[in-house]
Amino acid sequence: MRSRQNWENYASVEGVDIEKAFAFSGGLTEEMKDEGSRISMLRFQKKTSFLPRICAGLSQRTAQQVIGRMRRLYHPSSFERVPWTEEDFKKLEELHSHKMKPAAISLLLNRKVRSVDAQLDKLKKKKVTPRSRPFAWDFYAKSRLIAHVKSVLRKKLCEDEESKDFFDQLYEETDGRTIVHFAMSSLPKNHKIFNFDNLAKLLRCTPEEVLSRW
């Protein structure tokens, strides 16, 4: 990681204790509570071009972003992180099911709020399935559906006389409306000719959602 490498190089050249990374990035430590110590450190940073050297090679980031990243990277709690276990996930899911807020959950699980938020996002993504994902019945979806209906009916017409009779029957039942309209009007009786599983995959929804739109 470039920011870590920059700090280690800076500390090595300037003879700074590498453990002071958090304080040098603006973190509040016991030592830095003293105003004199803080001013001395700021003067030392200016004299040794601390900021340009820490940001070296990171031109795509602002100085504020680089220092903020460094402060998070060397925060004391970062060295005490405990991996989330399967049991932790179960507790998290249970607490979340009771409508508890991340801040309250973090206290019970002894975790950072940010860490709890990240794990909740993972849980939500796991639960998103084609059945739970909101389906937008927009112009794109309607167009794909209509194109599919036309394609299926045209194919059926070329197969045999029975299909031709089926088409003629649809035409009569709907007073000569467009091919899609008579497919729609007769679908309750003839929906088996359409592969709604494939159509659902095409539209990224469920077969039930496609059927409900007829």
**Would residue 187 count as lying in a domain?**
yes
**Would residue 122 count as lying in a domain?**
yes
Span 50-70, pLDDT tens digits: 999 999 998 888 988 998 888
Residues 9 and 72 in one domain: yes
Residues 7 and 71 in one domain: yes
State how far the Cα of 185 lies from the Cα of 57, in Å rounded to an integer: 65
Span 160-195, pLDDT tens digits: 555 556 656 655 655 544 545 545 555 455 556 667
Nearest to 94 by CA among 109, 81, 84, 79: 109
Token pair 């909740």 in the structure block, residue: 120
Largest CA distance in the chain: 97
Q: Compute how many other C-beta atoms are within 10 angstroms of the C-beta atom of residue 184.
A: 18
For residues 138 and 146, the answer to whether their CB atoms sit within 8 Å is: no
Coil vs helix vs strand at 165? helix
Count up the domains in the chain and report the number.
Answer: 3
Token pair 């017409």 in the structure block, residue: 157
Per-residue pLDDT for 120 more than 50? yes
Q: Find the domain containing 122 and state its range.
A: 82-127
Residues 50 and 95 in one domain: no
**Would residue 55 count as lying in a domain?**
yes
Residues 173 and 184 in one domain: yes
Residues 155 and 191 in one domain: yes
Q: pTM score > 0.85 for this model?
A: no
In this structure, the chain runs to a length of 214
Residues 75 and 113 in one domain: no
**Would residue 132 count as lying in a domain?**
no
